[in-house]
Amino acid sequence: MIPFKQEGIDGKVVDIESLKGKVVVIDFWGSWCGPCRKSHPHLKAIYNKYHDKGLEIIGIGYEGGTPQGKDSIWRKAVKEDGMTWLQVLNDPDRVDLTKLYSVTAFPTKLIVDREGKIVFRVSDSFSEEFDRKLEDLFK
């Protein structure tokens, strides 16, 4: 994984390095992105299935507009979609997480194994391969 620390939606710092030892799904999404929003129910199911077994999800919201406008749109979408896992808003003025992780399409989802290695990457919607990779990591 590529280290970063950023303030989360709850005001607490999200430090990805503190999640080493867990399986982490990093979800790059935007409120404006239909396929991103359609993938959130599947993420909820994954979170409910594996969270107690050591899964964490970090949603990284990517929004346009003014800083205040971006924050408002992002928070509204997180609430509407019922995403209860870690959430940060990409802030290119501080650290552009999309560039850091070479994200060029939305949604992009990464799976990071317990050792901190990115073991799977998918852009667009979920695939059976994504689900199988997660299942394998929890065997």
104/46 Cα distance (integer angstroms): 24
pLDDT digits (tens, 9 = 90+) for 5-27: 999 999 999 999 999 999 999 99
Q: What are the pLDDT digits (tens) for 55-71?
A: 999 999 999 988 889 99
Structurally, how many domains does the chain consist of?
Answer: 1
Which strand ranges, in their side-by-side order, compose the sheet holding 55-61?
86-89, 55-61, 23-29, 108-112, 118-123
Is residue 59 assigned to a domain?
yes
pTM over 0.85: yes
The answer as to whether 5 is a domain residue is: no
The answer to whether residues 65 and 30 touch, using CB atoms and an 8 Å cutoff, is no
Q: Is residue 34 part of a domain?
A: yes
- Whether 13 maps to a domain, the answer reads no
Outline where 81-111 has alpha helix (H).
Answer: 97-100
* 103 inside domain: yes
Contact 61, 30 (CB under 8 A): yes
Domain residues for 119? 20-137
Domain membership of residue 25 (yes or no) is yes
Number of alpha carbons in the 13 Å side-chain half-sphere of residue 116: 10
Is 125 within the bounds of a domain?
yes
Residue 57: CATH number of its domain = 3.40.30.10
- Whether 34 and 4 have beta carbons less than 8 Å apart is answered as no
